[in-house]
Every structure is written in structure tokens, then in C-alpha cells.
Amino acid sequence: MSRSADSLRTVFLRHRPRLLLAVLLLWTTMLAGTALLGLSGGFLTAAALAGAAGLGQGFNFFTPSAGIRGLTMARIASRYFEKLVGHDATLRIARDLRVWFFRRALPLAPARLGATRTGDLLARLLGDIGEIDGLLVRAIGPLLALGALTLVGVGSAALILPSAAVLLAVLALLIGIGVPWLGVRGHDSEEADRAAHRAALRTAAFEGLEGAADLAALNAGNAWQLKVRVAAKQVASRDRRRRLRLIAASTLHGVLAGLGLVAMLALALHAAEQQRIAPEMAAGLVFLTVAMIELWAGMGLAWQSLQSGRIAAARLQGIVEQAPSVQEPVSPQPLAPAATVHWDDVHFQWPGAARPVLRGLQLTLAPGERIAIRGDSGSGKTTLSSLLLRLWDPQQGRLTYGGQDLRDVAQADWHRHLAWLPQNAPVFAGSVAANLRLGDPEASDEALWAVLQRVRLGEWAERNGGLQAWVGENGATMSAGQARRLALARALLRNAPILLVDEPTEGLDVDTARALLQDLPALLEGRSLLMITHDDLPAGVVDVQYRLVDGVLVREPLR
């Protein structure tokens, strides 16, 4: 799908019929309410006048009261359906917005999304999407319905008394547009600042909870709480400023509304006095003005919601509109099932870095071959694996698979050839089976048991409730070695010809690490292995070992 065809706007446009219906129903509800007030006012005035003049007998009581009953029923029905349709549309938009965000953001992970803090991403996903998904009921619906209703109101007033229509139009401009506009004008940067502080609060809270154990160990919990409190205060002060703006706008609205109503009263009474309009029509005009003023009171909030929605949309676009770190080829080439990977004179420099990490690196990984890459911290081992995962392309040189440049291959196709056990591979809160099926969603229970036996977790799983055994957050109910084995089992289930493992023994004790490394060759079953490690490897784990020094690989003797 092209980017323009998948913009935020299209998420709303996809629900156009429902949106229009919701606006129409809202408009009907407002119209019925306004007409009800105008008709009741006119009717009561006419009844009072007829009574005073002793004309009660001939007074037409039934037509207006039938109209009032009809309008009341119409208002109840349209309000019911307006809520039904409006909330239905809102929930559909809320769903589609999240899907839209994930669909656009996930291809940017991890290369681009990695640059944004998780808490900030979470804030955008929750706070910003929340600002946008309610736009229909909070802003778009009321603004459109009020705009249309104002036209009808002014048109109706024109039929009764043209000068009253002019006054109503002026009030609409002043109260309906001018006052709410004053409330939001020039406050875009304040709104953006408010959104940024809300994100900062979520980020601080999220990161503190994530690192709660470390904070407790370092006795830094109080400092973190202070940071969260400061962030919360900053959000509160911005929320207060926003409320104050709304209150100021409401006050101005009230003053102008009072003046406008007095002006309309004077105008209508004067016209009735001069017998240019009937007295009940004069009352109708005044009540119409009351109803319109009351409805315009919602404009301030609607404008503010529209403004925060716009800013939230820009924040979401800021994430999803980042250029992907690699380009998909226009006509992707097919890949051989198992072939040799070749890093051919690869140069790579991270964006913004002063110096290149890889400088003319050469490496060949043949089918079934096992290679270890060692090197000092920061020498570029993970960078080398990022290029194999094609999260980035080299600025010079190329990576090939069976002679095919990886730039000419669809990324998804290439990823099917890779199984990856990243550094500190996560174990997700859930069952053993759910964790394993991330590797192969179609895997049968038998296949899961087989892979558990192969990584020596079979007994542990049997003792702990089988495939449905619950593993806590980050594998909290498992030892570090078991968690790593579970992640390895997940990678093996992918059944890809190349297994890339990054520091598989990081954080494990010496015996556990050695046992895992010694088990690895047998688990490969013919796959190629590229292992990034700091360890001195036991004999027989790999065929070749290199050290990454100054951006190139130097072969090292095996033990």
C-alpha cells in the first residue's frame, strides 16, 4: 500500500458513511432541541397573550403542542441513534488507528524505532491515539453539526425578521467562531508542549517501573519518585493553563451571549411593537437565540479537542513517517533455499557517527558452517549482525546470498532464511507454548515437545505443568539458563538455514554457559551458525573463529 493511500486521514475517510450519519444525527438532535425551545417559547407567549386578551376559546392549542411532542420524540430518538452511531464509529476508528499505527511503525523496528524511547512510544500509542480517536464525538461532529445548525438558525431568523438574522449571524461569528478561536489561537506550541510533557511523564513512570529492581538495589527509588512527581506537576500546570484558557473563553462567551440576547430581545420587541412580526414570533426569535448561544458554548471545547488532535496526529506521523532504514526492491529476486552468505568489502558507519565501524570487511558463511566472531566491546560485532539481519545496508560493498545482493531481495523473504537469538533474548509473560510458537505459529504440540527435549527443557516442562506452564515476565519463573534455552528453542523452531546468535551465554554462570555451548552444534542439524561472543569457546563448537579488529576480521586459531 502506498504511503499516501495509508495516511491518518484515510483511517477516518474509510468510515465516511458512519461519520456522516453520526454528524447528521447530531445535527438533527441539535435542530430538534433548538426548534423545541423556539416553538415552546413562541407557544407559551402566544398562549399568555391570548389569555390576557380573553381569546382563549379560539386559540389554536393543538398544532403547537403536537409540534412540541413531535420534536421531543424526534430529539429523544435522534439522540439515541446519534450516541449509538457516534460511539460505534469512534470505536471502529480507535481500532483502525491502532492497526494503522502498528502497520506503519512495525517495519521501522528495530532500526528506526530503537531511536525512540519505549515510554515515549507507549505515550504516543496510548495518549496521542486517545486524543485522535475521540475526535468525531469531541470535535468534528459538534463543529460540523453546529456549523450547519447555525446556517439553519440564521435562515429561519431571516424568514421572520431579516435584521434579527443579521444579529444572529454576527453573534455566530463572535461567539461561535471568534471566542473559541481566541481560546486556541497561538497556543499550538503550548499544546505541543503539553503533549510532550504528558509523554515525558509516561516515559518516566514506565522506565521507573521497568527498572524498579535496579532502582531498589541502588536505593535510587526516591530520586526516581521525585522525577515522576516533577513530571506530574509539569503536566498538571499545563492542564491548568489549558483549563484557564477554556474558562476565559467561557467567560467571554457569557458576556457576549448576555449582550447578544439583550440586543435580540430589544430588536424582536421593537419589531413586535411596530407589528412587523407577531409577538409569538418575537418570543420565538429570542428563544432561538438562547438555544443557539447554549449550543455555541460547546465550540470552545470542540476547537481545543481539534487542536490537541492535530498535534497528536503530528506526533504519530513523526514516528511512522520516518524513512525506513532499508529500501524494499521494486522487483524482488527469489532466494535459494540454502546458500553461502558473503560479506563483500563491507563498509558501514552509523548515522551521525564520526567514524565507520566496518571498513572493508570480508566474510563467508557456507551452508552448515559454524563461525564465531569475537572482539572487544564496541568493535562492531552487533553491527555486523545488524547487516546480516538487513536492518541496515552497508554504505559500500554488499552482502550476498548465493551470489544474490540482499538489496534485491524482499526483506520478509530474507528473514525467512534467518533464525535469530538476540543478546538477552526476551521470554514473554505467557505459556511455554505461546513463547515457542512465536518461532512457528503452526507448530504442533509434538514439535514443541521435541524441541524442548532437544534444548534439554523437556523434564523441566513436564515438572512444571507442560506446554501450558506459565513463565513470568522476562522468564521470572525460570533460571537464566532455562530462559536462554527456551529462547534458543524458539529460534530453532523457525527452521531457517542460518542461525544468528548474539552473546548466547551472556549472564549465565560458567557451567551453564559451557553446557549450552556444547549442546549447540548438535542442535543445528545442518544449519549455518554465526555466533557473536566474548567467550573462549570449548573445542568443537565452531569451525572457524575470527576477531573483529579495526573494522575487519582477523582469523584466530581455535582452542
Ligand X SMILES: Nc1ncnc2c1ncn2[C@@H]1O[C@H](COP(=O)(O)OP(=O)(O)OP(=O)(O)O)[C@@H](O)[C@H]1O
Residues that bind ligand X (CB under 6 A): 350, 353, 357, 375, 377-383
Nearest one of 32, 19, 7, 6 to 295, comparing CA atoms: 32
Of 253 and 374, nearer to ligand X (C-beta) is 374
Nearest distance from C-beta of residue 351 to ligand X, angstroms: 7
CB of 21 to ligand X, least distance (A): 48
* 111/293 with CB nearer ligand X: 111
In angstroms, the CA 437 to CA 184 distance is 50
Q: CB count, 10 Å around CB of 85? A: 22
Question: What is the CB neighbour count within 10 angstroms for residue 449?
Answer: 18
CA nearest to 487, candidates 534, 419, 385: 419
Query: Which one, 112 or 270, has the nearer CB to ligand X?
Result: 112
Cell triple for residue 125? 500509542
**Shortest separation between residue 378's beta carbon and ligand X, angstroms:** 4
Q: What is the DSSP letter of 337?
A: S
Residue number, 353 or 539, with CB nearest to ligand X: 353
Nearer to ligand X, 204 or 399 (CB): 399
Which C-beta is closer to ligand X: that of 383 or that of 545? 383
Decide whether 350 or 470 has the Cβ nearer to ligand X.
350
Grid cell in block for residue 53: 386578551
The Cα 559–Cα 545 span in angstroms is: 10
Of 494, 493, 495, 491, nearest to 531 (Cα)?
491
Q: Quick check: 355 and 529 in contact, CB under 8 A?
A: no
CA distance 160 to 438: 70
Quick one: 176 or 356, whose CB is closer to ligand X? Answer: 356
Q: For residues 529 and 522, is the Cβ–Cβ distance under 8 A?
A: no
The SS3 assignment for 89 reads: helix
CB of 513 to ligand X, least distance (A): 16
Q: Would you state the torsion angle of the CA atoms of residues 186, 189, 191, 196, taken in this order, to the nearest 10 degrees?
A: 180
CB of 32 to ligand X, least distance (A): 59
Q: Give me the least distance between CB of 110 and ligand X, in Å please.
A: 9
**Residue 374 β-bridge partners:** 547
Q: Choose between 197 and 381: whose C-beta lies nearer to ligand X.
A: 381
Give the integer Cα–Cα distance in Å for 351 and 193. 28
Nearest Cα to Cα of residue 136 among 225, 26, 211, 286: 26
C-beta of 353: minimal distance to ligand X in Å?
A: 5
Residue 109 Cβ, how far from ligand X at the closest point, in Å?
12
- In the numeric block, the cell 391570548 is attached to 50
Q: Give the nearest distance from C-beta 255 to ligand X in angstroms.
A: 57
Distance CA 63, CA 68 (A): 9
Q: Toward ligand X, which CB reaches closer, 65 or 349?
A: 349
Min. distance of Cβ 350 from ligand X in angstroms?
3
Looking at 311-461, which runs of residues are DSSP E strands? 341-348, 358-365, 370-374, 396-401, 404-405, 418-421, 430-431
Instruction: For the CB of residue 491, give the shortest distance to ligand X in the complex, in Å.
Output: 19
Q: How far is CA 347 from CA 44, 392, 549, 550, in A?
A: 86, 12, 14, 11
Closer to ligand X by CB, 120 or 131: give it: 120
497 forms beta bridges with none
Whole-number minimum distance, CB 107 to ligand X, in Å? 17
How many Cα atoms occupy the beta-carbon half-sphere of 535 within 13 Å? 27
Residue closer to ligand X (CB basis): 270 or 347: 347
Give the DSSP H or E segment for 279: helix 279-296
H or E stretch covering 324: none
